[in-house]
Amino acid sequence: MIVIASTFCHAFTVIDSRKLLNSFENVLNTLDPSISNDDWKLIKDPKDPKVVDIAKFAVNSENIISPDVQLRLESVLSGRFRVDNNGTTYELTIVAIDFDEESEYKTIVFENYKDNVRKLISITWIKRKGQFAVNEHNKEAATKLEFQSIIKGESQVVAGTNYRLVINAKDGGHVRKYLVVVWDKPWEKIKKLTSFKQM
């Protein structure tokens, strides 16, 4: 079972020490001079090779940890990071393809330039599975819910993958919480909503 929110996956790997020695300098060159919340700094150029390398690391780590997932990085949409005494934490919004389905993900990677280690903290779906669940429920129940966000979730491999998500959806003027289950078998292009319940 893999938890999507905050602990969706973890990975450690040793990378080229020369990249890490230059990490701080390279990152500073991609920063927006303004400081965002909690001393996070915005990345000016999401296409910067350093930033793309971090995103590729996240995707490759996820593929190793979850054999049923085969993500392929398409692009980095945006990002920010924070530097402290231990290293640099990156938070990136990326687009990746799993089989033939394109989705947005938020990933967090920590890079410790003292110990020459990168760690994948999390990689999280932003929208697609939750949006699919709401769309299918609207068709089946003739409702007009509007998907808002995924609060948390987990996945389980069962002749495909069951995604059990807690989502927010707007019902008229009220945002309500729902527990949904989506079964996905992307290599056969099968995806089904198996449960949709208000919490």
The rounded distance, in Å, linking the Cα atoms of 43 and 28 is 9
Domain count, the chain: 2
Which residue, of 125, 153, 168, is where some domain finishes? 125
154-193 burial code (b ≥16 CB/10 A, e <16): bbeeeebbbbbbbbebeeeeeeeebbbbbbbebeeeebeb
The answer to whether residues 144 and 183 belong to one domain is yes
User: Residue 41's closest CA among 58, 55, 24?
Assistant: 24
Which residue, of 125, 149, 174, is where some domain finishes? 125
The answer to whether residues 134 and 117 belong to one domain is no
Range of the domain at 191: 128-198
The answer to whether residues 80 and 133 belong to one domain is no
Q: Report pTM.
A: 0.55
The rounded distance, in Å, linking the Cα atoms of 21 and 16 is 9
What is the pLDDT at residue 126? 61
What is the pLDDT at residue 21? 35
The answer to whether residues 119 and 177 belong to one domain is no
Q: What is the DSSP letter of 176?
A: E
The rounded distance, in Å, linking the Cα atoms of 146 and 198 is 14
Percentages of the chain per state (helix, strand, coil), in multiples of 5:
25, 50, 25
- The total of other beta-carbon atoms located within 10 Å of residue 16's CB is 9
Which residue, of 75, 108, 125, is where some domain finishes? 125
Burial class (CB in 10 A: 0-12, 13-18, 19+), 58: buried
User: Residue 91's closest CA among 55, 47, 44?
Assistant: 55
Find the CATH number of the domain harbouring 58.
3.10.450.10
What is the pLDDT at residue 156? 74
What is the pLDDT at residue 46? 92
The answer to whether residues 19 and 100 belong to one domain is yes
pLDDT by 10-residue block (mean), the chain, 199 residues: 37 37 40 51 92 94 83 89 89 84 83 84 76 92 88 73 86 92 79 91
| C-alpha 110 chain-centroid distance | 15
The answer to whether residues 119 and 158 belong to one domain is no
The answer to whether residues 7 and 102 belong to one domain is yes
